[in-house]
């Protein structure tokens, strides 16, 4: 049964439109945040202006881990381009225990704190 803090954490994720995925339980990084698409690409042939190419775009991937009681950046802090969001989530799930996905108007100040608190309150099993 979920505690009150766990329910509040879940509701905070829903309010901020953050999706949570289970990752690799043997990974060293505690959690990963995928923000995107930060920008989208125009069609390569140039015939149609301002048309977006499906789910392809530029995504920001950040992983966190705990060291001596403090949250630090993990293995990744970089932008990944020209990939579908579903394929990116599959790849990131191998590098962290919990994966969070949110769309672009997100900041590390608000969403980063939210996912780190959620990872502490509702750890991966």
pLDDT in tens, 95-125: 999 999 988 677 788 888 899 999 999 988 7
Whether 75 maps to a domain, the answer reads yes
Whether 44 maps to a domain, the answer reads yes
Count of residues in the chain:
125
Residue 93's pLDDT is 93
Burial 30-67 (b: 16+ CB within 10 A, else e): bbbbbbbbeebeeeeeeeeeeeeeeebbbbbbbbbbee
Rounded to two decimals, the pTM is: 0.83
Whether 80 maps to a domain, the answer reads yes
Domain count, the chain: 1
| Cβ(115)–Cβ(18) below 8 Å | yes
The torsion of the CA quartet 109, 62, 102, 30, rounded to 10 degrees, works out to -90
d(CA 8, CA 11): 5
pLDDT in tens, 53-66: 445 677 889 999 99
Domain containing 82 equals 19-121
- Point out which residues pair with 96 in neighbouring strands: 29
């Amino acid at each position: 049964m979920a505690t009150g803090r766990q329910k509040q954490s879940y509701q905070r994720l829903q309010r901020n439109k953050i999706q949570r995925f289970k990752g690799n339980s043997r990974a060293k990084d505690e959690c990963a945040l995928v923000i995107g698409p930060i920008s989208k690409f125009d069609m390569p042939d140039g015939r149609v202006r301002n048309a977006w190419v499906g789910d392809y775009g530029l995504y920001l991937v950040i992983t966190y881990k705990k060291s001596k009681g403090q949250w630090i950046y993990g293995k990744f802090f970089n932008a990944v381009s020209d990939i579908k969001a579903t394929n990116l989530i599959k790849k990131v799930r191998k590098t962290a225990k919990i994966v969070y996905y949110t769309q672009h108007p997100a900041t590390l100040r608000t969403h980063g704190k939210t996912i780190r608190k959620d990872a502490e309150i509702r750890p991966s099993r």
